[in-house]
Amino acid sequence: MSPLRGYITSYSPRVRQYGNALLTPVIPPSQTGPTPRMTKRGTAAINYAEDGFDDDDFEDSEGPRRPTGLRSLRREESTIDKVPLAEKLGKEVHAPVEVQGVFRDWMIKRMLRPVCADQLQIQAQLPLTLIPIRIDLEVPAHQPLEPFQLPRTVLDPGINPTLPGYRRPEPLPAYRIKDTFLWNLHEALATPEEFATGFVRDLDLPNPQAMTMAISNQIRQQLEEYAGVALHPLFQSTVPKPPSASQAGVSRDVSATPAPAATPDSRSNTVTVIKEPFVNDSFLNPDDAYRCMINLNINLQNKLYTDKFEWSLLHPPGMAEEFAKITCADLGLGGEWVGAIAHGIYEAVLKLKKEVCESGGLVSGIGGYGNEIDNQAANGTEAGWRYDPEGLGDEWEPKVETLSKEEIEKREGDRERQIRRLRRETARFSSTAGITPDVSRQGSGGYFDVDSETPLGRGERSKRKRRFRSLSPLGRGGTPGGRGTPDTSSGAGYGGGGGTLSDWERQNWRCSNCMVWGTAVWAVRDGPAGPRTLCHNCGLLYERDKVAPEWSRDLHRHDIPIGRA
């Protein structure tokens, strides 16, 4: 017997009606009065047909200026309707509320993909590289569907169509979706399209196909932008193995005669002290050369969290989540702040990693040489101390402030501009051919860097291109992990992607091993079936094991792309 399942959800009505950081209603400001007519010169037009009497003379009567026209009545009705809508939406609640549940057809449909425990084997073989994802989407004004659709036997006398469950809710204004989460760069089971489909269904958004494609594209584009920095071998830390204790032999190899040994005296009460080397734990004590500063400014609803602390670029995945849990417990913040703080740390770390790669992999303290990242650490005898007699280190203290509506809008605008600038810089950095080029390549020009004063003969440029054309597919040299990138790693961990697909290739491309569609991958690699035939996960395991992974074979065979159902 299958386990019991719930077929009614009240999640989408609750997040639409009450205040939260995921959905924010965008209510246009209502006009309190009619807009005055303007002349061509920008001055207000005067109506000389109006009388010069004052309305105060007609206090006892209804007055001749009482709005009786149809336009005036409609304007007043629309103004009255907007005020309760603004007060009704976005209200904060601190206790459970009762909302009318909804039912949709997808709640009773079964998944087409066969689920088994063997699929966890493929995910266990892949590395964990968390990428911060930010979803920013505009939802137009719409009218939600009724909670329950009327059955076909609507004329049955036992069915009352006027019940609240069969009535359509009130029209909703435009909403803005803002969500942050972490996505594994080597995720093998779930695809961005599956996540977007569940996201749209849970929120009961209008035009599901367009919303799903928009969310899926945002996730895939951010994975492509951050992959070049996140997979850099400079930050792939390895756990040191403890030294194995050498065991003394009890006998000699060249002779069968046992070696003389002292007879232990169990009656002696002596204490023996053995000095062993201390094994440094890289998780808690990473390399100080990559210790940088992180400034966090996180805004959820009307609260602003600011903090400044030290963080190592070699911290493993999961350390940011532990830091966020302890910080939220100390400050008394809710559960939604844990994910927001962890997302902010991962986003700041990727930005610092990019700066470290551009500066040659150096991080310095006060008084560096100019091309390193300043972490405000003192050198020499004052190392380890931050001397701040004026502020006494108040900027290193976590703070939570309550903002007004104007301050929130201003900060949101600044935050959006900063995010767009960061994405442009990261995309420009990830598209370079070599993350850490050699000094000789920086100083000397390339083969095609011909001086403008040196003329070329007819067809000379085309001959040079054909002569030095790479045998690899197009687009491979500009992606980290491809053959055009200098091999600076010692294993297959640096890579996972050898090229990208164009928009028209994604529609019909599928991995030859796991059968995942091209709209769900951020990079492709070569395989036994030819170039650009494996996805980033199957290609990574194929490069390491020289055999296509068997656990992921036909894993996504039953997947249906968006718009083809």
Mean pLDDT of 357-377: 57
pLDDT number for residue 96: 87
- Long-range contacts of residues 547-552, Cβ cutoff 8 Å, at least 24 apart: 548/512, 548/513, 549/122, 549/125, 549/513, 549/514, 551/118, 551/119, 551/121, 551/122, 551/125, 552/119, 552/122, 552/188, 552/513, 552/514
**Span of 11-20, 250-259, 350-359 with lowest mean pLDDT:** 250-259
The pTM for the full model equals: 0.69
Evaluate if residue 482 carries a pLDDT over 50: no
Predicted confidence band of residue 407 (pLDDT cuts 50, 70, 90): confident
Mean pLDDT of 429-440: 40
Mean pLDDT of 192-213: 93
Predicted confidence band of residue 354 (pLDDT cuts 50, 70, 90): confident
CA dihedral sign of residues 319, 324, 330, 335? negative
Evaluate if residue 487 carries a pLDDT over 50: no
Count Cβ neighbours within 10 Å for each residue of 330-367 and write b for 16 or more, e otherwise: eeebeeebbbbbbbbbbbbbbbbbbebbeeebebbbee
Using CA atoms in the order 361, 365, 367, 370, what is the torsion angle rounded to 10 degrees?
20
pLDDT number for residue 110: 66
Evaluate if residue 24 carries a pLDDT over 60: yes
More confident residue, 270 or 90: 90
Predicted confidence band of residue 423 (pLDDT cuts 50, 70, 90): confident
Mean pLDDT of 105-127: 77
Cα Dmax for the chain: 131
Evaluate if residue 44 carries a pLDDT over 50: yes
pLDDT number for residue 271: 60
pLDDT digits (tens, 9 = 90+) for 243-276: 444 444 444 455 556 666 665 555 556 666 676 6
Evaluate if residue 174 carries a pLDDT over 80: yes
Tell me which H or E stretch contains 133: strand 130-139
Pick the closest to residue 144 from 101, 109, 115 (CA basis): 101
pLDDT digits (tens, 9 = 90+) for 271-318: 666 766 555 555 566 666 778 889 998 988 888 999 999 898 888 889
Evaluate if residue 428 carries a pLDDT over 90: no
pLDDT number for residue 205: 93
Write the Ramachandran bin of 373: left for phi over 0, alpha for psi from -120 to 50, otherwise beta. beta
- Provide DSSP, 344-408: HHHHHHHHHHHHHHHTTS-EE-TT--SSSEE-----GGGTT----TTTTTGGGS-EEEE--HHHH
For residue 482 the two structure tokens come to 């491809």
More confident residue, 345 or 64: 345
Predicted confidence band of residue 46 (pLDDT cuts 50, 70, 90): low
